[in-house]
Amino acid sequence: MKKILKVNMRTGAILEEECPGKYEYFGGRSFIANYLLSEMNPASNALGRENRFIISCGLLADTRLTTAGRFSVGGKSPLTGGVKECNVGGDAGKKLARLGYKAVILEDLPEKREPKVLIIRQGDCRLEIIPNLLNKEVSETSRILREKYGKGIGIICIGPAGELGMAAAVVATFNQEGTQLRVAARGGLGAVMGSKGIKAVVVDDAEAVPEKAYDPEALSLASKEVAKILLEDPKTDNRHNYGTAGVMALCNSLGILPTRNFSQGQFEKADSLSGEFLAQVVDQRGGEGKRGLPCIKGCVIQCSNVFADPEGRAVVGSLQYETLALLGSNCGIGSLDEIARLNNLCNQVGVDTIETGAALGVAMESGLLSFGDAKGAEEIIRQIGRGDIFGRVIGNGAVVTGQVLNNYRVPAIHGQAIPAYDPRSLKGIGVTYVTSPMGADHTAGNTLETVKNLPPRGREKQVETSYRLQIRAALLDSLGVCLFIRPAFVKNPELMPRLLNARYGWKLTYPEVQRMGIACLEAEKRFNSLSGRDETHCDVPEFMRFEPLPPHNTVFDITREEMYEVWNSEIEENIF
């Protein structure tokens, strides 16, 4: 992956160039951070001319390593105002990597908005205008594009919400068979893509001539070791069977499940949203419903599902924990069928289920509809797709919704909605939400995995733990692998330099690899600081410091001063 593709959306100029040497060791998240820091004024407008929309492959994206091939999208976020990276499975990333692109970068703004598609083939990249894609839903966009460019293409696209510049807009993509619609959800990067006037990127790798690894044998060996460890890990089994929803029961028992706009930490209908119950329903219904699916070719974990209605027709895939919590318990909705429909609607109009669920929770608490009103929520999501005014408010996320509806109980940090772990009873993730350059993001350093060893409501070690997990996340997000690969590197961290060295012929040691994660965070923090944000003074939402969270009646009690010691934490020899 030695090439960079730059497309100027004002002039239409397409420039393919060799990736400058200074970016050699960067991929995915670390490429995005360093490229933006070096090339744009961080203080400029997220939907303005200076911002870039970047698609970048992780460093191991073109290998057969399990879970590898996720791609990152990035830019300055219209939600957080800082740098944002968001990565996703599906098959488009692997295709882009096979074509040799480290990154595709959209620059400037078009003079005129019309639905453009960027087609990337071996030796042939161009822009096409496809007028009838205007405001099309995501699956319909996919259908039109596959009809025109062939079934086997990779698609990266936005829905109407992205075209309308909404700050909750996602970037959507698909698995190989097109049966799962996956989204790079957080930070409103769909709006950045939309601002560039690009409705979709089509990746056709039919004639790709992939680069060769430096040492294919060593790469294959290390990859097999990773797969073996994962297959032996009990967490893999749980994930395979129950998907991310496997943590529902745990989160409910810990009292951290966002319920009715973060006013409770347990939901009386949590059982009907659990991973175990979800699996049972999927199995009973049969038909198009399935579980234990890969989202990306070659993944051994296979934690995805397709959820079908009682008649066995697919509704949405994959139905996941964050969505079950934010569109479910947080909205007082306890039915898998209702949540699946809401999830699909969000996917089709192209908005983040976390941000949308949080915004709906605020709207419900403000009295615009009742908690539990799934029909009302459906109608509002349709309004997002139509660009109705209230739809645009919700589609711009929880903070704008709270401001417009005069409700200051907004669960958001750095402008971004808090995901499905209330920090009042899981303190460590609160540290991550506040201090991560990504804003409130559960993939940026999630301390849920530490609750066995570290009391989640205690104050001890939460700061250091957050730092350790933040470095980890930054590193994995730069490799193009899934966070669920962690058990392999926990067991044998040396696998990381082995993989990278075999792929590129580098001579990295494990401490040097670890340093790559730290450097990524540092570049991101620098960008955010230059964007005009003094991160040391941000905090959890005020109400989380005042308002006790049932059932444990906890408030968030780690001080800002304590949290910002995160960057002075001692780094362990092995952060995995």
Interacting residue ranges for a copy of itself, rule: CB under 8 A: 41-45, 47-50, 78, 164-167, 191, 195, 389-390, 392-393, 396, 400, 403-406, 408, 529-539, 541-543, 546, 560
Residue 354 Cβ vs a copy of itself, minimum distance, rounded to whole Å: 19
Burial per residue of 266-275, b for 16 or more beta-carbon CB atoms within 10 angstroms, e otherwise: bbebbebbbb
Residues in the chain: 576
d(CA 44, CA 119): 28
Residue 562 Cβ vs a copy of itself, minimum distance, rounded to whole Å: 14
Question: Quick one: 410 or 520, whose CB is closer to a copy of itself?
Answer: 410
Question: Quick one: 147 or 534, whose CB is closer to a copy of itself?
Answer: 534
Residue 367 Cβ vs a copy of itself, minimum distance, rounded to whole Å: 11
Amino acid at 160: P
d(CA 166, CA 355): 11
Question: Quick one: 257 or 400, whose CB is closer to a copy of itself?
Answer: 400
Helix/strand/coil for 27: coil
Question: Quick one: 122 or 366, whose CB is closer to a copy of itself?
Answer: 366
Residue 227 Cβ vs a copy of itself, minimum distance, rounded to whole Å: 44
Backbone angles phi, psi at 295, to 5 degrees: -95, -15
Rg from Cα positions in the chain: 22
Chain centroid, CA 560 distance in Å:
26
Question: Quick one: 42 or 517, whose CB is closer to a copy of itself?
Answer: 42
Question: Quick one: 403 or 492, whose CB is closer to a copy of itself?
Answer: 403
Nearest residue to 134 (alpha-carbon basis) of 44, 232, 200, 224: 200
List Cβ neighbours of 415 (8 Å cut-off, separation of 6 or more). 77, 79, 80, 81, 167, 397, 399, 439
Residue 400 Cβ vs a copy of itself, minimum distance, rounded to whole Å: 6
d(CA 85, CA 78): 12
d(CA 190, CA 434): 23
Residue 395 Cβ vs a copy of itself, minimum distance, rounded to whole Å: 9
What tokens does 396 get? 């711009």
Residue 142 Cβ vs a copy of itself, minimum distance, rounded to whole Å: 23
Which residues partner with 119 through β-bridges? 126, 202
Residue 437 Cβ vs a copy of itself, minimum distance, rounded to whole Å: 14
Question: Quick one: 70 or 424, whose CB is closer to a copy of itself?
Answer: 424
Question: Quick one: 161 or 301, whose CB is closer to a copy of itself?
Answer: 161
Is the previous residue joined to 220 through a cis bond, with omega within 30 degrees of 0? no
